[in-house]
Amino acid sequence: MSGSPSEARLVLLEGRVQGVGFRWHARLEARALQVAGWVRNLEDGGVEAHCEGDPDRVEELLGWLEMGPAGARVDRVDVRRAEVEGHGGFEIR
Protein backbone atom coordinates (compact mmCIF):
# COMPACT_ATOMS: atom_id res chain seq x y z
CA MET A 1 0.00 0.00 0.00
CA SER A 2 1.14 3.51 -0.75
CA GLY A 3 0.09 4.87 2.63
CA SER A 4 -2.21 7.42 0.98
CA PRO A 5 -5.78 7.36 2.26
CA SER A 6 -7.11 8.82 -0.99
CA GLU A 7 -8.62 7.06 -3.94
CA ALA A 8 -10.26 8.41 -7.07
CA ARG A 9 -13.06 7.37 -9.41
CA LEU A 10 -14.23 8.66 -12.76
CA VAL A 11 -18.00 8.31 -13.13
CA LEU A 12 -20.08 8.52 -16.32
CA LEU A 13 -23.83 8.86 -15.85
CA GLU A 14 -26.59 8.53 -18.44
CA GLY A 15 -30.31 9.22 -18.20
CA ARG A 16 -32.17 12.41 -17.33
CA VAL A 17 -29.13 13.98 -15.68
CA GLN A 18 -29.04 17.41 -17.34
CA GLY A 19 -31.49 20.21 -16.65
CA VAL A 20 -32.42 18.79 -13.23
CA GLY A 21 -29.77 20.45 -11.03
CA PHE A 22 -27.63 17.31 -11.01
CA ARG A 23 -24.25 19.08 -10.99
CA TRP A 24 -25.31 21.59 -8.34
CA HIS A 25 -26.64 18.89 -6.03
CA ALA A 26 -23.61 16.67 -6.68
CA ARG A 27 -21.34 19.52 -5.59
CA LEU A 28 -23.37 20.02 -2.39
CA GLU A 29 -23.25 16.31 -1.60
CA ALA A 30 -19.52 16.06 -2.35
CA ARG A 31 -18.72 19.05 -0.17
CA ALA A 32 -20.83 17.65 2.69
CA LEU A 33 -18.89 14.38 2.43
CA GLN A 34 -15.56 16.22 2.04
CA VAL A 35 -14.92 14.58 -1.32
CA ALA A 36 -12.87 16.57 -3.84
CA GLY A 37 -13.07 16.65 -7.62
CA TRP A 38 -15.39 17.99 -10.27
CA VAL A 39 -18.59 17.35 -12.24
CA ARG A 40 -19.53 18.45 -15.77
CA ASN A 41 -22.17 18.00 -18.45
CA LEU A 42 -21.21 16.07 -21.58
CA GLU A 43 -22.31 16.92 -25.12
CA ASP A 44 -24.12 13.57 -25.40
CA GLY A 45 -26.50 14.50 -22.56
CA GLY A 46 -24.62 12.61 -19.87
CA VAL A 47 -22.72 13.80 -16.83
CA GLU A 48 -19.11 13.01 -15.91
CA ALA A 49 -17.65 13.32 -12.41
CA HIS A 50 -14.21 12.86 -10.91
CA CYS A 51 -14.38 12.05 -7.19
CA GLU A 52 -11.40 11.66 -4.87
CA GLY A 53 -10.72 11.41 -1.19
CA ASP A 54 -11.33 9.01 1.69
CA PRO A 55 -12.43 5.68 0.15
CA ASP A 56 -15.53 5.35 2.36
CA ARG A 57 -16.66 8.89 1.56
CA VAL A 58 -16.02 8.39 -2.17
CA GLU A 59 -18.19 5.25 -1.99
CA GLU A 60 -20.94 7.24 -0.26
CA LEU A 61 -20.85 9.84 -3.02
CA LEU A 62 -20.94 7.12 -5.68
CA GLY A 63 -24.09 5.77 -4.04
CA TRP A 64 -25.66 9.22 -4.19
CA LEU A 65 -24.65 9.70 -7.85
CA GLU A 66 -26.40 6.44 -8.76
CA MET A 67 -29.69 7.98 -7.54
CA GLY A 68 -29.15 11.69 -8.23
CA PRO A 69 -31.37 14.51 -7.01
CA ALA A 70 -35.17 14.62 -7.18
CA GLY A 71 -36.19 14.99 -10.81
CA ALA A 72 -33.21 13.06 -12.16
CA ARG A 73 -33.33 9.56 -13.57
CA VAL A 74 -30.03 7.69 -13.73
CA ASP A 75 -30.26 4.86 -16.27
CA ARG A 76 -26.60 3.89 -16.50
CA VAL A 77 -23.53 4.37 -14.30
CA ASP A 78 -19.97 3.55 -15.37
CA VAL A 79 -17.39 3.81 -12.57
CA ARG A 80 -13.70 3.53 -13.31
CA ARG A 81 -10.59 3.84 -11.17
CA ALA A 82 -8.80 7.13 -11.73
CA GLU A 83 -5.62 8.87 -10.66
CA VAL A 84 -5.83 11.18 -7.67
CA GLU A 85 -5.47 14.70 -9.10
CA GLY A 86 -5.10 16.55 -5.79
CA HIS A 87 -8.17 18.80 -5.95
CA GLY A 88 -8.72 21.06 -2.97
CA GLY A 89 -12.51 21.11 -3.30
CA PHE A 90 -15.35 20.02 -5.57
CA GLU A 91 -16.29 22.22 -8.54
CA ILE A 92 -18.73 22.39 -11.42
CA ARG A 93 -16.97 22.55 -14.77
Non-local (6+) Cβ contacts of 42 within 8 A are 12, 48
Please answer whether residues 81 and 17 qualify as being in contact, where contact means their C-beta atoms are separated by less than 8 angstroms: no
Phi/psi for 63 (5° steps) reads -60, -40
Confirm whether 23 is a catalytic residue: yes
Phi/psi for 22 (5° steps) reads -60, -50
Which of the residues 9, 23, 27, 57 is marked catalytic?
23
Cα distance from N-terminal residue to C-terminal residue, the chain: 32
Which of the residues 16, 31, 41, 57 is marked catalytic?
41
Confirm whether 41 is a catalytic residue: yes
Bridge partners, 49 (sequence order):
11, 39
Which residues does the annotation mark as catalytic? Answer: 23, 41
